[in-house]
Amino acid sequence: QKEVEQDPGPLSVPEGAIVSLNCTYSNSAFQYFMWYRQYSRKGPELLMYTYSSGNKEDGRFTAQVDKSSKYISLFIRDSQPSDSATYLCAITLGNQFYFGTGTSLTVIP
Amino acid sequence: GAVVSQHPSRVICKSGTSVKIECRSLDFQATTMFWYRQFPKQSLMLMATSNEGSKATYEQGVEKDKFLINHASLTLSTLTVTSAHPEDSSFYICSARDLSASYEQYFGPGTRLTVT
């Protein structure tokens, strides 16, 4: 079993839709939970991070962690065409980073 | 936010030659830098972890004699692809951890290597 599982998509939504991106993980000892956004031919960009169960909001983005279910989510409200990218979840344990495979998102104008 | 740069952003080289890629943390110190490889529409594949002043730790299946990593200072790590072959063509991305924020990893913009 992989440490982190992420549905690769692709996911295609109309502009203005709410997007839900999800990852599951296997090790309850994981400490920090992050979401990265990667545009085509660019390096990943850190969007949000959290370390506790619950929700963390930043503008149109909400990161949610459910440690009891080992499940993390990223919600994007009022999605825009500029949100079209690949979204990767990442989870850390000490110096180890574990990345999901990434979900490709396209927001159609 | 923290900035990581990579140079060059794109390089084309002939088969058999060596290519050096630089990764710099511009506004923070990084004891640890990571090198990743990414194929089209695939996720990041960790190649090696580079610690300042010590030898890099390579992931299983990554040839350390082919992918030479040097982490000479807290702001610079280099990856040299030796005797490059067309199958080495890929997108190489480095990242660095900020000493003051252990949970964060900042990525460079990537280097696209094409070996002809």
Q: Chain B window 27-86: which residues touch A at a Cβ cutoff of 8 Å?
A: 32, 34, 41-44, 46, 49
Residue B45, burial from CB neighbour count under 10 angstroms (0-12, 13-18, 19+): middle
- Output the pLDDT for position B56: 92
Averaged confidence pLDDT in chain B: 90
**A92 touching B, CB under 8 A?**
yes
- Output the pLDDT for position B83: 96
> Closest approach of chain A CAs to the CA of B83, in angstroms?
24
**B104 touching A, CB under 8 A?**
yes
How do residues A18-62 score in pLDDT, each as one tens digit? 999 999 999 888 888 999 999 988 899 989 988 888 999 999 999
**B91 touching A, CB under 8 A?**
yes
How do residues B95-111 score in pLDDT, each as one tens digit? 998 766 666 788 999 99
B44·A88 Cβ contact <8 A = yes
CA trace torsion B94, B99, B104, B105 (10° rounding): 0
A44·B44 Cβ contact <8 A = yes
B6·A43 Cβ contact <8 A = yes
Chain A residues close to B108, C-beta within 8 Å = 43
Topology at the third CATH level for domain A4-108: Immunoglobulin-like (2.60.40)
- Output the pLDDT for position A3: 87
CA atoms within 13 A on the CB side of A24: 7
- Output the pLDDT for position A56: 92
**A51 touching B, CB under 8 A?**
yes
- Output the pLDDT for position B4: 93
For residues B81 and A18, give the distance between their C-alpha atoms in angstroms, rounded to a whole number: 43
Nearest to A22 by CA among A81, A66, A56: A66
How do residues B2-35 score in pLDDT, each as one tens digit? 789 999 999 999 999 999 999 999 988 888 899 9
- Output the pLDDT for position B1: 64
Mean pLDDT of A65-78: 95
Nearest to A102 by CA among A23, A45, A20: A23
Mean pLDDT of A76-95: 92
Domain boundaries, chain A: 4-108
A43·B42 Cβ contact <8 A = no
Mean pLDDT of B82-106: 86
CA-CA distances (angstroms) from residue A27 to A4, A23, A67, B25? 9, 13, 10, 30
